[in-house]
Amino acid sequence: MLRWPIALAAAAALSSPVALAQQRALPLDALRSGFEFAGADVRAMQADDVANPGFLWVERGEKSWRDAGGGKSCASCHGDAAASMRGVAVHYPAFDRTAGEIIDLEARINACRVRHQGAKPLERESDELLALTAYVAYQSRGMPITANIDGPARATFERGRAFYTTRHGQMNLSCAQCHEGNWGKRLYAETISQGHGNAFPAYRLEWQTLGSLQRRIRACLFGVRAEMPSPGAPELTDVELYLAWRAQGLPLETPGVRR
C-alpha cells in the first residue's frame, strides 16, 4: 500500500545533486588515472617532455596560437596562453551560449576560429586541431578536472550516462561493464583501466600519433564491434561530459601517453 509513495520519494531523492554523488560507481577517492594502469615504459614516456611525442603537437599548437594566417591569431585576443588558458580545459565540455549547447574543447576552438578569426573550422583529428587542443589543454596540466553538469549541462550529462551504461555492439558490452565492473582486471595482456579521459589529447602507441578523447571513445566502440559515431557526433560530446564528471578531481595530464 505504501509502495508507490515510497517509490516516488526515492525517485525524487535519486535525482538530487547529493544523490547523484551517491550514484558514482567509482567514488571520488577511488579514482585512478589511466597512467596508473599503463606499463612502466609508457609511464616513463609520458613523464619525459622530450621523449613524449605529444609535445611535438603542443609545440605546433604554440606556433599556431601566434600565427595570424591571414586572419586574427589566437594570441591577438588571448595573449599569452599560459596565463589566459590556464584552468580552461579542465572545465570542458562546457555550455556555449551562442551555440546553445554543450561543446568540447575542439568545438570551442573551431567556434573561435569561425566567429572571431575569420577562419574555417579545422577537421576533427587533423594535426592542426589536435595541436591547438593539446596546446590549450597543456596550459591546465596538473589541474583537477572540474566539469559542470548543472543547468543546461544536465540533459547532456544524462544522455552521456545513459550511453555509458547501455550495451553496445556485437559484443553487447557497456562501457560501465569494463571500466566500472572490471577495472583492474586483466583483459588479454592488458589491465583494464577506469576509462578516464584526463590525459587527452593523448599519444596512443596503437595510433602512432596524437588523438582526441572522441577518437578514443570511437576506438572503444569499434572494440566491442559497434558502429562508430562520426567524429564530432553529438553522442560523443555527451560521453565526454559524462567522463569529465566521472573523472572529477583527477589531474589533467595532457599530453598523455597511452598504449
**Could you list the active site residues?**
220
Residue 202: strand pairing partners: 211, 256
Among 73, 84, 146, 209, binds other proteins (CB under 8 A): 209
Q: Which stretch binds other proteins (CB under 8 A): 96-104, 139-147, 153-161, 187-195?
A: 187-195
Nearer to other proteins by Cβ, of 41 and 80: the residue is 41
Distance CA 183, CA 63 (A): 39
Q: How far is the CB of 30 from other proteins (least distance, A)?
A: 22
Bridge-based pairing state of the strands 101-103 and 256-258: unpaired
Is 27 buried (19+), middle (13-18) or exposed (0-12) by CB count in 10 A?
Answer: exposed
134 binds other proteins (CB under 8 A): no
CB 86 within 8 A of CB 141: no
Within residues 217-236, the interface with other proteins by CB under 8 A covers 218-220, 222-224, 228
Within residues 38-67, the interface with other proteins by CB under 8 A covers 38-42, 44-45, 50-51, 53, 55-57, 59-60
Helix (H) or strand (E) holding 65: helix 54-66
206 binds other proteins (CB under 8 A): yes
Nearer to other proteins by Cβ, of 90 and 197: the residue is 197
Q: Which stretch binds other proteins (CB under 8 A): 35-43, 88-96, 134-142, 154-162?
A: 35-43
Q: How far is the CB of 108 from other proteins (least distance, A)?
A: 22
Nearer to other proteins by Cβ, of 76 and 166: the residue is 166
256 binds other proteins (CB under 8 A): no
Bridge-based pairing state of the strands 202-204 and 190-191: unpaired
Q: Do you find a cis peptide bond into 121, omega within 30 degrees of 0?
A: no
Among 197, 201, 211, 256, binds other proteins (CB under 8 A): 211
How many distinct helices (H) and strands (E) make up the chain? 12, 7
Q: Which stretch binds other proteins (CB under 8 A): 97-105, 149-157, 215-223, 239-247?
A: 215-223
Angle made by CA atoms 48, 50, 54, in degrees to the nearest 5: 90
Bridge-based pairing state of the strands 202-204 and 256-258: parallel
Q: Number of residues interacting with other proteins: please give it, by CB under 8 A.
A: 39
Q: How far is the CB of 78 from other proteins (least distance, A)?
A: 22
Distance CA 146, CA 185 (A): 28
Spatial CB neighbours of 191, under 8 Å, sequence gap ≥ 6 = 37, 184, 185
Within residues 149-168, the interface with other proteins by CB under 8 A covers none
Query: Torsion angle of alpha carbons 75, 153, 252, 124, nearest 10°?
Result: -60
Q: Which residues bind other proteins (CB under 8 A)?
A: 38-42, 44-45, 50-51, 53, 55-57, 59-60, 127, 186-191, 203, 205-209, 211, 215-216, 218-220, 222-224, 228, 259
